[in-house]
Structure 1
């Protein structure tokens, strides 16, 4: 029997594995991480973290104390100029820093530090001493301000930094990192030498629309920031812009550029180092900049650092580790999964003691996803991507080839062994209209094997679509039931084999009446049992509409007549919170209690409007589901 049960709900920190895993999408970002050091004393030459939810107001973590011990990670006992990068896999992070104590002299250092993490909290580290690592480096004077970027042509991570030999100019060099990010591969080579052959340091590269933009400091001559561009990082073919980009007459260094989340705007910040302050500027073209200092607030004084966008889960993990700053306010709780997902189904497995979310893979034109994924959790705090559980274009399924939509799953203990029955809709090979199939496995994450033919092929009302399946086991009788239908709601009792239905029990259950403002049935039936009542939920309006919402009614039996609630709306949009189209749901309960939660999808706020394809840009969320004393459902207070 399946119980839709929940352990205490605090949302997630994601760990994603490959095999169809979605990379972190920009819509998943909920804040920013600022990495920096604070000054020229040795206790200030250490990596510190700060966070922001809007890119303008920053709060130091760990009371502005170091998050890493410079004496442990470096050869000199100090680090400066930290740069952080999210890797292409979405969940690995590279950080590099200058290995240097300034009290030893500005020409005293020969090394950089390479660091790697998968959670932003625990870091491995390696010291690369250029003078020791490579021959012929006797005249090397300094190694400054390393950064890392992914070279799309080479498919490798490129580390670049400035070096000076003897009395020559500072030049920005590069080398590729090894696969473990513990060493450099090959001899360092010049990356950029300006036409005037003068010194340049503090390179910061931004990739936008196929072009790499290199911001750099003209060291010792102008002490400002210029930019050069190229379409091929290591080609040596750079186009230099003659003007300075800083918006002050004072000397500056340490350019750091980052994109504003969900906007076509970039921030260029830099260290006004002679004046002990930072300046922030804004641009939409990386050419023209305006000062926005009046909009920026920080409760610390950074020196040369960088900013990277982070997810809500990463923000929660960072503040859990180093303390939540008082001024940052409430942190975002939704969505709970990365990427675009819709039509969520949740299962608690008595076999594994874990929770599983299955969904439609969204973001595909025409709802064209062809596979289902699963995420699992032991506590609903930390989720693990479990991979693809059913692929309609693989040998797992013979009768369908795509439109993998709206799954449901049931766990059954049969002859002392757990079996899993995974129901879904798909497009048949003959394109004769959506149908419902079932695949069987021995684990909640598969592998699943389809039964070879659909179990629901026709509409009992002569129209609509055979999609949006739900499975429910009645705790009173032990019998299992299947529900489905777009344009109608149908239900039927399953046979004991769980892979076929008792045709004589098929019944049309569509709630009558209503309008798009309240409870007019569209799709996505869902059934659960509480305190002697069978609750029927369904979705109203089109999945691409901001008005898409959940309504409900109750019945005295799993296939009985549904009585629509007097106040039938369970979830509905909240434009003030930028919450749209919250529907197609499942329900879970905290074990041993009467605490319930609703799992649903909603349209990502950046895709509202028909021209943005809102119906395929949906994300999975969870909120509290509460009942009145008479058993009626209170309208859900949706959270951001």
Structure 2
């Protein structure tokens, strides 16, 4: 008996145990998606059986990349000389992409192919590939006739990538099979197993699975009996317990195939698209529940005619990477807002210009963890302060810092030239203590000194925390200083080894009651500038103040108007604080880097806004007397 999902109560009982929160811990968060990538092939001619790409910024208007010519050479990657049905998936790490395609030329016949191609990429432009011939790879496949339309999904139950596709053996039905890929995504771990066959035992092809609210929705084509798109639902991919839904999901009377579903960015809506192959067109439908669909063909605009393909969301930087490789098509506007400058959730940015590499680096707190529970640090590099490359993890507290395996917060870094060689000294918070790690490169790897550098309260201090270090090299004296503190501000001179302090120089120099945390110190035109954050990072009123001094260890003079960065409610910008400052080498051009609440959702997140933050940059100006001109935060 068929039952609508809305009344399947027994499935709902187990949802809590099977829900998998699909996010991108190391890559762009949902907030960062600025467009879409459409992978498709063009037709049955051999020259059209190749992977093509198109992009969109709104999910409705698509323009082909590379003048609608292939982005991969089918003859180099395939066994048959042609490929069809490309499907792309973003990996769980957020930065690896998996593509699977049918290895087939239709001119050889619909029963001519036995394999597929597995591809991986880190940037969507350079792909490595491996071919799998099912008949050659596995025993008992002598009567295999065809291998069609592979796709990939991450199975959270086993932590592996599942490839699924349809196969027909002899005169039997087309059945959707699956196999788990190896870690390299070059082969299968074991022989294929049945994933899905309708209860009526009739053929099913072109499976497409999407995860929504802990349930897997399988859209498939009923090959040879209706030639339409049906839906089955489960809470466990390999359980065999699929609930078949009534009716067909396509919104046309014409025969269709090659369905694919994707979620619109920053929306609760999904789009189901499919190939209306009999009349040579593609149809798009929209839905919020993946059950009822409405045709939106009148809203879709494409300058190409796709066949079976797939669409994934991409970030601003990924769109720029794609167009840098294959050009920006006419009709696509890639003018983006400046902020945030990093994809994902990050906070407390410290910035460095490296004389060794002639590049800029940001060292942030890895954010997006409940209760500031991150345990690793990363860095990002740039040559122009606009395009930032994720250089990966440079220090993992759980692996690298035995004395403080938790709460990786608010790092700071400096470059020192010692005996002709550059060294990088990285000061960080771990378990509410401050440590130091050293590397020969700004991108690491960094080696912890083996013990905390700051794990004590200065004399006279009874509250607060030993967090938020800031390192400063004094251009006048050549000495280096470390500042720190939450609830108070302290300073100590560093020894020449840069991994220890002169304890007799420890000094408290809390400027006033507005000081909360996030100290930063820099020097300009004979003055030492001290910047700090006021309020709690969970507050929309988190903001930056400053003072000046004639000495790196104070006392600090506070100007009458010293609030220089705060929220701008009219723009929806809140929680602006914990900054660093960058001077472009050899100039009087300055920038301020800071974090803010995730825009636009942060203001409605309550306390969680304080650990779902994003990094921004704006110009920093001074008046003729050296006073800091208040910064207007920007998008």
Distance 1:226 1:321 in 2: 38
Q: Match of 2:353?
A: 348
Counterpart check, 1:385 vs 2:353:
no
Distance 1:53 1:616 in 2: 28
| Cα deviations by residue, 1:611-639 (Å, 9 ceiling, x for unpaired) | 46100111223344345566554554655
Q: Match of 1:500?
A: 501
Q: Match of 2:276?
A: 272
Change beyond 3 A, Cα 1:157–1:459: same
Counterpart check, 1:441 vs 2:438:
yes
Q: How far did 1:401 drift?
A: 6.3
Asked which structure has the greater RCO (Cα within 8 Å, sep 6+), the reply is: 1
Task: Name the SS of the counterpart of 1:581 in structure 2.
Answer: coil
Distance 1:284 1:437 in 2: 48
Q: How far did 1:455 drift?
A: 6.0
Distance 1:532 1:453 in 2: 30
| Cα deviations by residue, 1:339-360 (Å, 9 ceiling, x for unpaired) | 4321111233445655443333
Counterpart check, 1:584 vs 2:588:
no
Q: Match of 2:480?
A: 480
Q: How far did 1:98 drift?
A: 2.1
Distance 1:402 1:172 in 2: 44
Change beyond 3 A, Cα 1:302–1:625: farther
CA contact (8 A) 1:312 1:333 kept: no
Q: How far did 1:485 drift?
A: 3.9
Counterpart check, 1:562 vs 2:557:
yes
For residue 598 of structure 1, the aligned residue among 565, 579, 592 is 592
Q: Match of 2:536?
A: 542
Q: Match of 2:199?
A: 195
| Cα deviations by residue, 1:192-249 (Å, 9 ceiling, x for unpaired) | 1111222221110112333322100112322211011223333333221121112233
Change beyond 3 A, Cα 1:571–1:54: farther
CA RMSD of aligned residues (A): 3.4
For residue 608 of structure 2, the aligned residue among 590, 599, 613 is 613
Q: How far did 1:525 drift?
A: 2.2
Stretch of structure 1 that moved more, 135-144 or 80-89:
135-144
Change beyond 3 A, Cα 1:45–1:505: closer
Aligned counterparts, 1:175-574, within 5 A: 175-326=179-330, 327-331=332-336, 333-350=338-355, 355-375=360-380, 381=387, 383-389=389-395, 391=397, 396=401, 398=403, 402-414=406-418, 420-427=424-431, 437-443=434-440, 445=444, 446-452=446-452, 454=454, 457-458=457-458, 464-491=464-491, 493-494=493-494, 498=498, 499-501=500-502, 506=507, 508-510=509-511, 521-558=515-552, 559-564=554-559, 566=561, 568-570=563-565, 572-573=567-568
Distance 2:184 2:423 in 1: 40
CA contact (8 A) 2:341 2:388 kept: no
CA contact (8 A) 2:435 2:448 kept: no
Distance 1:579 1:637 in 2: 10
Distance 1:554 1:638 in 2: 22
Stretch of structure 1 that moved more, 52-61 or 460-469:
460-469
The count of residues paired between Structure 1 and Structure 2 equals: 604
Higher strand share: 1
Distance 2:298 2:607 in 1: 33
Distance 2:73 2:618 in 1: 40
Task: Name the SS of the counterpart of 1:43 in structure 2.
Answer: helix
Task: Name the SS of the counterpart of 1:303 in structure 2.
Answer: coil
* Gapped regions of structure 1 (runs ≥ 5): 1-19, 428-433, 513-519
Task: Name the SS of the counterpart of 1:411 in structure 2.
Answer: strand
Task: Name the SS of the counterpart of 2:186 in structure 1.
Answer: coil
Task: Name the SS of the counterpart of 2:230 in structure 1.
Answer: strand
CA contact (8 A) 2:509 2:555 kept: no
Aligned counterparts, 1:91-102, within 5 A: 91-102=95-106
Q: How far did 1:32 drift?
A: 1.8
Q: How far did 1:426 drift?
A: 5.0
Distance 2:186 2:420 in 1: 49
Aligned counterparts, 1:68-87, within 5 A: 68-87=72-91
The TM-score normalised by the length of structure 1 is 0.83
* Gapped regions of structure 2 (runs ≥ 5): 1-23
| Cα deviations by residue, 1:501-532 (Å, 9 ceiling, x for unpaired) | 565673535257xxxxxxx5543221212233
Stretch of structure 1 that moved more, 458-467 or 583-592:
458-467
Q: How far did 1:603 drift?
A: 1.7
| Cα deviations by residue, 1:73-93 (Å, 9 ceiling, x for unpaired) | 223333221111122333222
Distance 1:261 1:348 in 2: 35
Stretch of structure 1 that moved more, 628-637 or 111-120:
628-637
Q: Match of 2:167?
A: 163
For residue 42 of structure 2, the aligned residue among 14, 29, 38 is 38
Task: Name the SS of the counterpart of 2:47 in structure 1.
Answer: coil
Stretch of structure 1 that moved more, 548-557 or 311-320:
548-557
Distance 2:361 2:483 in 1: 20
Distance 1:244 1:256 in 2: 15
Distance 1:138 1:503 in 2: 81
Change beyond 3 A, Cα 1:595–1:274: farther
Distance 2:496 2:162 in 1: 59
The TM-score normalised by the length of structure 2 is 0.84
Stretch of structure 1 that moved more, 443-452 or 234-243:
443-452
Q: How far did 1:317 drift?
A: 0.9
